[in-house]
Amino acid sequence: MVRFAQDDDMDTKSILEELLLKRSQQKKKMSPSNYKERLFVLTKANLSYYEYDKMKRGSRKGSIDIKKIRCVEKVNPEEQTPVERQYPFQIVYKDGLLYVYASNEESRSQWLKALQKEIRGNPHLLIKYHSGFFVDGKFLCCQQSCKAAPGCTLWEAYADLHVTTREEKHRAPTFPDRVLKIPRAVPIFRMNEPSSSTTVAQYDSDPKKNYGSQLNVNLQHLPKEDYPDWWQVRKLKSEDFASGNQRERAVADHSTSKMSWGYPESSSSEEEENLDDYDWFAGHISRSQCEQLLRQKGKEGAFMVRNSRQVGMYTVSLFSKAIDDKKGTVKHYHVHKNAENKLYLAENYCFDSIPKLIHYHQHNSAGMITRLRHPVSTKANKVPVSVSLGSGIWELKREELTLLKELGSGQFGVVHLGQWKGQYDVAIKMIKEGSMSEDEFFQEAQTMMKLSHPKLVKFYGVCSKRYPIYIVTEYITNGCLLNYLKSHGKQLETSQLLEMCYDVCEGMAFLESHQFIHRDLAARNCLVDSDLSVKVSDFGMTRYVLDDQYVSSVGTKFPVKWSAPEVFHYFKYSSKSDVWAFGILMWEVFSLGKQPYDLYDNSQVVVKVSQGHRLYRPQLASDTVYQIMYSCWHELPEKRPTFQQLLSSIEPLREKDKP
């Protein structure tokens, strides 16, 4: 029998009470399951459960802080489940996972509704959850063996429950007391030789199921030289991707941009603005014609905007093509209008005009299949990339460039030392055909055009009219910081190591102040000049944002060992996830190029970091330096320092080291 509280919302008064069946939490991986009846009591502060005998409440057996709950949702029943266990639901919280069984559907719905009401606005709500039980050391839904593994099913309730909280501004960095208790000789993680493989997470979308988009995760090991320490979120299959009237939910935090990306800037906030100036606007075109044009384009993220049947309304049509999907799928998203006359695809992110809405979704998928990547025009003579990269001013003449020697190679091609006009040393990144999409090249080049700072690698231009495409930057004499630390680190003073960190922090403070998120900060992506100054490089993953949040879409790779918890759990980036990576980079510098968490693979790192473990203090780092890097690894992004605050913390140490 369900009991509700009587007109009292104080923290100690019950909101809901009922005798429910509780499943053991299997704290040991292979421990057997057992089931016990417990009296569950929900209050504003806690969900507690008690022994219950002879119609009386006994001793409390457990309690969960409401603020620590991250997800409350149904669970798919196991096969051949007894009648009394037909209505399970789960409570996912910071420290564990609890399975509870209601007696009927009405009871379960009441508990879900009450709990979801209380956790509304909680920090770190899950975007995805596991729809199957964790049994015998693995989840039945996706076969993952790590209990802390990211969820595999899109949690539709997230969009309604998530409330963005404003970040505290100008908060001074704080250092946990337990930092000083970590002995120098007893590391939390011991570093040896780099592991030989890395884990790649692959997700398969199947939104036909009535509980939302299923994301099946397959973990596989790839050779270290191909993808060192990276996970990739990649679609495997998208057959019969949901079409029709299924409601699209957005789960991403939005971040709009003012950058010019080859499209006319919006000059009016009126809905009636002339859209014919935009190459993505198709006007009055039929649904079948639209789908035909998008399939002809055949690129992931190809899109157009067309008039809806309802006068004055619009539809965004978007093409997606998975690896083994020859035909591809076209999704149609209706542009809605709220009570304040604002336009939106995702109801939390509203805009004054169609161009502003499209501009935002070009940088954030926000619950759609993918970002709006490639506008498909019904007009002739589309502007080529080489011109849209700044009206041609960044396009260099290929014959003016001379290749001298190879400096290194990477995923996208080879980097050469070269000369421009026979006298200026430059670095030439040669993009081989098929290794980088037009969208990725466009993203990196556009980003570098916007960035100019002494501690960022200078961008000179591109050769984009034929393959191999060139991205031309300044030549940095001593090359990659990681390699330099490994080969010359023992010759450096600790003051020089600190100065290297300060240089990187200066460059990152510039990005932070101009609302850019790097998303791939590491020693391997910084370069050492002839005077030992360090510059930040490799802006292929950099994004411009307005609200300091970016949620990556399917297809994004990310380096697990440099990633903050909110990245590997929710694919959520901000300047504070860059701060986390900067802490790892400081550790790399003071350990002279050792690999972080080298005894652990990616899955183990996710578990360890989620449990609160952090890297040990390198021998060359003082207590104060370690406190600074440790402050970058706070579990809560808002409690990490800003880059400007980090500069203020490092500055006195630089002055102290000066003669």
Sign of CA dihedral 644, 645, 650, 652: positive
For the chain, the C-alpha Rg in angstroms (whole number) is 27
DSSP tag of 338: -
234 is written with which tokens? Answer: 């990649």
What residue has token string 């309730």? 157
Q: C-alpha distances in angstroms, 523 versus 413, 593, 595, 627, 651?
A: 20, 8, 10, 20, 21
Say how far apart CA 612 and CA 633 lie, in whole Å.
9
Instruction: Give backbone dihedrals phi and psi of 551, rounded to 5 degrees, phi first.
Output: -110, 120
Spot the catalytic one: 229, 520, 578, 601. 520
Q: C-alpha distances in angstroms, 480 versus 250, 419, 431, 503, 593?
A: 39, 20, 19, 14, 11
Query: Could you give the dihedral angle defined by the CA atoms of residues 85, 89, 92 and 98, in that order, rounded to the nearest 10 degrees?
Result: -20
Instruction: Give backbone dihedrals phi and psi of 603, rounded to 5 degrees, phi first.
Output: -65, -40
Contact 305, 316 (CB under 8 A): yes
Q: Half-sphere exposure of residue 16, counting CA atoms within 13 Å on the CB side? A: 21
Closest CA to 202 of 236, 229, 228: 236
Contact 275, 354 (CB under 8 A): yes
Give yes or no: 520 in active site: yes
Q: Give the burial class of 445: count Cβ atoms within 10 A of its Cβ; 0-12 exposed, 13-18 middle, 19 or more buried.
A: buried
Omega prior to 468 cis, within 30 of 0: yes
The DSSP annotation for 184-196 comes to TTS-SS---SPPS
174 is written with which tokens? Answer: 């704080």
Cβ contacts of residue 359 below 8 Å, gap of 6+?
256, 257, 261, 263, 266
7 is written with which tokens? Answer: 């007109």
Say how far apart CA 74 and CA 89 lie, in whole Å.
4
Strands (E), 424-480: 424-431, 459-463, 469-474
Q: Which residues pair with 428 in a beta bridge?
A: 416, 472
Say how far apart CA 135 and CA 139 lie, in whole Å.
6
Annotated catalytic residues are 520
